[in-house]
Amino acid sequence: MSREELGHKLEVREDLDSEDLPPPPPPKHARVPFDANDFKASGATLDDKLRSQTQYPEEWKNSMKSLQSDVLNLSELSATSAGSFSRHKFERDFLHGQPEAEGVEADVAKLNLNDNEELMNSVFTSKKSKHPNIFKMLMKKKPEQNLMEQRLLQEPDNWQMVKHDLNRMNTLTTLDKQARTKRVARSEANFIIKPLEYITDVNTSEVFGPDNIEVVDTEVNIRKVAEFLMKYDHDYDFNDLITDVSVKFGSHRPSQIRAILLHLCKFRIIDETGKILQMKPKVHEVMAKGEATIFQLNYLFKKLLEALRIPAEVVFGFWKKPNEFYHSDQFLVNHCWLSVMMQTDERGNGAFRLIDLMCFQNGLICNIEGFNEFYFLTAPIDIVSTHIPSVIELQHVCPPVDLNVAFHLPRLYSSFKKHDLEFINFNNSLTRMHDLEFFEADIKIPVSVELFTLIKTSRKTSNDYTLCQIYWKGPQRIARIKAVLPENESIGVLQIFAGQKGLQTHFDNIHELACVIPLYHTGNSKASAFVPRFPTIRSQNNDLYIRHPQLSSISINNTYSFEVDVHPSMGLNSGSGIMNRDFKLVVESPSGKYTKLIKDEPHKPYGTHQLKLHCQEKGLYRGLVIGDSGNSWYVFAQWEC
């Protein structure tokens, strides 16, 4: 196409626009009436737009009349004919209605948004109402979301949160432990991941003499020595005391040592914070006041034993106290104890033994009344995790345990050794928790022992944040311990208590302290608590291990799978099947309804009891176990819904 032809067409188009003629008829089956602005150029005036807008009511009126005539008169005209009739009527009315449109246009130009607001205000002011703007507020109020839509939007989030909380407390897998171990090893260069692996059967308490005899007789008639010391006050002359002890007990060294120890326990130990003082005592002042520092008492202890020709030495070092959290391995000399050479025969054979006067005198340190016999002539290897000497030679362990290894060991106290407990694959990196992680450890325990755990921080002491349960792996009876710190707590200690099964009847009657593990947390925290386990004194034939759910709280209108592993507490024997034939577990709802857990393998004396329960009631769901007599139920756990 040439430029002249193109220019000619443009001129024709401009002529058409300037004539302001009615638009051509629309094609068949098009929308009627049409919009005249569709055929206007971009330079159409506002007058044209207003003129077309004023015709809209008439336009729809004509369209409706055409439709009514077709229906009422049963017209055989096609849709195209009806549309054509309406179009011609619209053109005729459009030409005759131009003068009226000009008047309407002038009226519309006078109206604006402000006039509308003034009109609305005048309407509201004419009404006598205390709240004149209530209608406006209702007009502006956003439509409420459908309740069904809200429920559909919230349920996935709630269920996802429930599943996340349930899965959070699942037992750690090998991959989980490896990932956490790598993270801690990279962040802390001198951190020892598995310190217990550095202590084996090769490490033994130090002995002396030509025959290397390791067995040392420390048996003492405790009642006889105690009755002998009852007639001596703390201000009794030490010289006369030594003479009486040597005459009473002859050459039996354990009895002589205990007699001196019991006499010194009559003195009050002055509390010292931080580093202890190493000031030698003035004997007359100590006897008059009846009190002394820990070093002064150990110094007197040493001198009195030497007067009885028993070699002894005061050992300065670092004592890992049960309730303390130590941030680094830069420890202070906060304690001292006594090492004694116990000669066993005339050939000069013997072994080193340790005495901690403070721990012996104050049994409450390990949660027992009276004297703690564990710290009387104890083997050095048994307290290597809590008593770290400033000089490694005074550890009296061969070969010696590195001091850094000793610092990272879990703190083992008297009950751990008494009840023959043993850690299984202890991983120290699990004590460094990040975000929603938790600590986990396994301890092998005898069939006659039970454990109890607590979390202690600077602001709170509770067992809500720990879970200790018994499970069996072959012939081994193992306690699995899980723990978290309370919300917004970064440091704390896990305390483990051990004692004879059946002796702890409530939370105020706690066993002797066995172990303390310091815990550390970084990152985000979330309030959570484990399912509480209650001692069942009259149902002890079976060990129960709750697999799911292990959290204390459950959400309403959700379905939970209750799973409990059951195993005979005395192990598998010929009578296990008969004993567990009538064993039952149920879950009691808040309304009192009992629902039985079904055993997956009924023919075995052990196995998993399961139940899927839709929790529709608010309140406490309690786990009940049948008593050993089979006559009553006892609560072993509870969940709050």
Domain boundary, last residue among 485, 513, 530 = 530
Beta carbons of 305 and 239 less than 8 angstroms apart: no
Are 265 and 382 within one domain? yes
Segment 331-360 mean pLDDT: 90
Are 224 and 363 within one domain? yes
Compute the distance between CA of residue 356 and CA of residue 417 in angstroms, rounded to an integer: 16
Residue 613 domain-assigned (yes or no)? yes
Give the tokens for residue 145. Answer: 């979301």
Give the CATH number for residue 492: 2.60.40
- Position 325 scores a pLDDT of 83
3-state helix, strand, coil in the chain (%, to 5): 35, 25, 40
3-class SS of residue 428:
helix
Beta carbons of 256 and 246 less than 8 angstroms apart: yes
Are 457 and 584 within one domain? no
- Position 150 scores a pLDDT of 52
Q: Which has more pLDDT, 241 or 150?
A: 241
Compute the distance between CA of residue 295 and CA of residue 334 in angstroms, rounded to an integer: 10
Beta carbons of 158 and 555 less than 8 angstroms apart: yes
Beta carbons of 621 and 587 less than 8 angstroms apart: yes
Give the CATH number for residue 586: 2.60.40.10
Compute the distance between CA of residue 512 and CA of residue 496 in angstroms, rounded to an integer: 9
- Position 319 scores a pLDDT of 95
- Position 6 scores a pLDDT of 46
Q: Which has more pLDDT, 574 or 11?
A: 574
Percent of the chain with pLDDT over 90: 53
- Position 576 scores a pLDDT of 61
Chain segment 244-267, per-residue pLDDT in tens: 999 999 889 999 999 999 999 999
- Position 273 scores a pLDDT of 84
Torsion of CA 56, 59, 65, 68, to 10 degrees: -80
Q: Which has more pLDDT, 65 or 380?
A: 380
Torsion of CA 535, 536, 542, 547, to 10 degrees: -50
List all residues 6 or more positions away from 218 whose beta carbon is below 8 Å from its beta carbon: 254, 342, 353, 376, 377
* Residue closest to 350 by CA, chosen among 377, 372, 373: 377
Give the CATH number for residue 267: 3.10.620
Residue 192 domain-assigned (yes or no)? no
Are 208 and 339 within one domain? yes
Element (H, E) at 620: strand 620-626
- Position 424 scores a pLDDT of 96
Does the pLDDT value for residue 507 go beyond 90?
Answer: no
Q: How confident is the model at residue 92 (pLDDT cuts 50, 70, 90)?
A: low
* Greatest mean pLDDT range, 146-155, 161-170, 225-234: 225-234
Compute the distance between CA of residue 384 and CA of residue 386 in angstroms, rounded to an integer: 6
Are 444 and 502 within one domain? yes
- Position 465 scores a pLDDT of 94
Q: How confident is the model at residue 328 (pLDDT cuts 50, 70, 90)?
A: low
Give the tokens for residue 339. Answer: 């090492």
- Position 578 scores a pLDDT of 60
Domain boundary, last residue among 494, 510, 530 = 530
Residue 442 domain-assigned (yes or no)? yes
Are 232 and 334 within one domain? yes
Element (H, E) at 411: strand 411-412
Chain segment 522-562, per-residue pLDDT in tens: 998 888 899 999 888 888 889 999 999 999 988 888 889 99
The pTM of this model reads 0.74
525-559 burial: b if 16+ Cβ within 10 Å, else e: beebbbbbbebbeebebbbbbbbbbbbbebeeebe
Are 334 and 461 within one domain? no
DSSP secondary structure code for residue 394 in this structure: G
Q: What's the chain's length in residues?
A: 641
Give the tokens for residue 228. Answer: 């002998």
- Position 557 scores a pLDDT of 86
Residue 133 domain-assigned (yes or no)? no
Compute the distance between CA of residue 615 and CA of residue 401 in angstroms, rounded to an integer: 54
- Position 113 scores a pLDDT of 45
Residue 525 domain-assigned (yes or no)? yes
3-class SS letters over 9-74: HHHHHHHHHHHCCCCCCCCCCCCCCCCHHHHCCCCCCHHHHHHHHHCHHHHHHHHHHHHHHHHHCC
Are 361 and 381 within one domain? yes
Across the chain, mean pLDDT equals 80
Does the pLDDT value for residue 272 go beyond 70?
Answer: yes
3-class SS of residue 463:
coil
Percent of the chain with pLDDT over 70: 73
Are 262 and 382 within one domain? yes
Residue 215 domain-assigned (yes or no)? yes
- Position 182 scores a pLDDT of 95
Chain segment 403-447, per-residue pLDDT in tens: 999 999 999 999 999 999 999 999 999 999 999 999 999 999 999
DSSP secondary structure code for residue 312 in this structure: E
Does the pLDDT value for residue 119 go beyond 90?
Answer: no
Residue 2 domain-assigned (yes or no)? no
Query: Sign (positive/negative) of CA torsion 210, 211, 213, 217?
Result: negative
100 CB neighbour count, 10 Å cutoff: 10
Number of H helices, E strands in the chain: 18, 27
Torsion of CA 122, 124, 127, 132, to 10 degrees: -140
Beta carbons of 365 and 375 less than 8 angstroms apart: no
Residue 517 belongs to domain spanning:
409-530
- Position 538 scores a pLDDT of 82
Chain segment 583-641, per-residue pLDDT in tens: 899 999 999 999 999 998 888 888 999 999 999 999 999 999 998 888 889 999 999 98
Residue 129 domain-assigned (yes or no)? no
Domain boundary, last residue among 530, 548, 582 = 530
Are 242 and 337 within one domain? yes
Q: What is the largest CA-CA distance in the chain?
A: 144
Are 338 and 418 within one domain? no
3-class SS of residue 568:
strand
Q: How confident is the model at residue 329 (pLDDT cuts 50, 70, 90)?
A: low
Domain count, the chain: 4
Are 433 and 371 within one domain? no
